[in-house]
Chain A
Amino acid sequence: MARYVVASVTEILPGERKLVTVRGRPIVIFNLDGEYFGILDRCPHQGASLCKGRLVGLVDAPRPGEYSFCRKGEIIRCPWHGWEFDIRTGKSRCEPESIKATQYDVGVKRGSEVIDESYEAETFDVVIESDYVVVNV
């Protein structure tokens, strides 16, 4: 497993996303109120680009007639067939244990750490004082 710098934190603001390519793999990085998550940009159903989907919440009905709406902006809905995935876990709404979007470990590192720990950052000029979004692939 290698570590890659994919963005500076200012590039992906809360609620936003960025599609990056790491070792040939398209990965979409989400910022959820300062936490970053990464999933493979291929829907496990038929392969659509999840990055093109809408971020929605979870609509649930504990029993018929009772509705709840929670976790606004934490669920990515496929732009084709509407399959929903939890961006925190990659798990699908309908079959969470068997159908999942592939997840990648994403974090934030100071420029100084990035330089010291030899991250790959070919397309970036890493500045020691700034923060960066990094992904392990």
Chain B
Amino acid sequence: MDRVTTGQKIKLAIADCDIHPTPKSVPVEIYPYLSKRWQDYMETYGIIYRQGFPTGPAFPKGQPNAARRDSYPPAGGKPGSDLSFMQSQHLDPNNVQLGILNPLSCGQGVQNLDFSAAYCNAVNHWQIAEWTSKEPRLKASLMIPYEDPLASVKEIDLWGGDHNFAQILLLSRTAEPLGQRKYWPIFEAACRANLPVAVHAFGYGGAPVTGGGWPSFYIEEMVGHAENTQSLLTSMVFEGVFERFPTLKLILVEAGFAWLPALTWRLDKLWNRMRKEIPHVTRPPSELIRQQVWLTTQPMEEPEPREHLLDTIEWIGWEKLLFATDYPHWDFDEPSRALPIRVGKEQKEAFFLQNALELYGLK
């Protein structure tokens, strides 16, 4: 982090732990890393996701392409597809010292598992070629075809130790609850590679987007992320994932955070009474979560009065939150306005940058 300067009057340096890059053109930017066999498959059959709707997202988004309307590169192409525009619109003016790339709809959740593995591998090459090799502030996410744990482990072992990658990326809607043993080889490989596992909201598990079924409105899908993420975290706690893999670091991305205190209170209470069912969980869920789970901040809850946000963060722990904007998506949190309360310098620096540098081992 040699770009961090101290003692100068500059805009607060931040880490942005959720930036979404998109290929300008799949044939131009992704095909070079896909074998002819999969290029041909894609041209013939397209990409079939594991979801009830055959193409496109299950719900319309708040803005077209889920993007800020001012994030379309002037030179053309989709939001998040042009590095120089990302630099001039976001990385430079917002003083982003560390940006974590989270490519979405880029090979994960694809129903043909061999294609999913090939596409994830291609996107890993693409992130280095088009992004991290050109912009040292950016780090890639290691894409894995997580519904095929053996192929995922192969991909993790292939790139383990490569400093272009800051984390392993999964999406939150998985085919089975994420703590189940099918996924354990992924967590084991993540520990071996010393990479945190980030779980970003959305995905293609095949189940409805809320526990109560398919809702009518996009606004309900937005709320459903918190619900879905609580389910996957509960599964990981009670399946004993954190105890089996004590060096595992889990990051929950874009699911909000204000729900976490209430969930841990509930988990602790039930764990106290029902330990007989899950004797392998020997420590209180709140303790496991405090030690091994981090959350990105966007979309930040905006309670009135605002001071409630401070209470919530204190219950979670100032060291557990990683600032994120979700650039270029429409629900972007503007760094200078996102935290609507005055906090101490140390807490502010931790929240906006230091927690991320520490977690990703970049201090």
Contacts and interface: CB of A to CB of B under 8 A. Distances in A.
Interface in B52-97: 62-63, 68-70
A54 B337 contact: no
Given A49-B70, A54-B69, A80 B336 contact: no
Contact of A82 (B63, B70, B336, B338): B63
Given A79-B69, A79-B70, A81-B330, A46 B62 contact: no
A79 B63 contact: yes
Interface residues of A, number: 12
B148 interface: no
Nearest to A44: B337
B332 A80 contact: yes
A80 B337 contact: no
Nearest to B70: A52
A64 interface: no
Interface string B314-352: 000000000000000011111011100000000000000
B338 A80 contact: no
Contacts of A53: 69
Scoring B68, B331, B333, B336 by chain A CB atoms within 10 A of each residue's CB, the highest score goes to B68
B266 to A, nearest CB: 30
A45 B63 CA distance: 17
Contact of B337 (A47, A49, A52, A82): A47
A48 interface: yes
Contact of A79 (B68, B334, B336, B338): B68
A52 B69 contact: yes
A82 B334 contact: no
Contacts of B333: 46
Interface string A74-111: 00000111100000000000000000000000000000
A52 B63 CA distance: 12
B327 to A, nearest CB: 11
Contacts of B338: 46
Interface in B287-338: 330-334, 336-338
Contacts of B70: 48-49, 52, 79-80
Nearest to B332: A80
B69 A81 contact: no
A107 to B, nearest CB: 29
B334 A48 contact: yes
Contacts of A80: 63, 68-70, 330-332, 334
Interface string A34-55: 0000000000011111001110
Nearest to A81: B331
A80 B325 CA distance: 12
A46 B68 CA distance: 13
Would you list the 10 A-B pairs with minimal beta carbon distance, nearest first?
Answer: A79-B69, A52-B70, A46-B334, A46-B337, A79-B70, A80-B68, A52-B69, A82-B62, A80-B332, A47-B334
Given A46-B332, A46-B333, A80-B334, 10 more contacts: A46-B337, A47-B334, A47-B336, A53-B69, A79-B63, A79-B70, A80-B68, A81-B330, A81-B332, A82-B330
Interface of A: 45-49, 52-54, 79-82
19 contacts: A45-B337, A46-B332, A46-B338, A48-B68, A48-B70, A49-B70, A53-B69, A54-B69, A79-B63, A79-B70, A80-B63, A80-B68, A80-B69, A80-B330, A80-B332, A81-B62, A81-B331, A81-B332, A82-B63
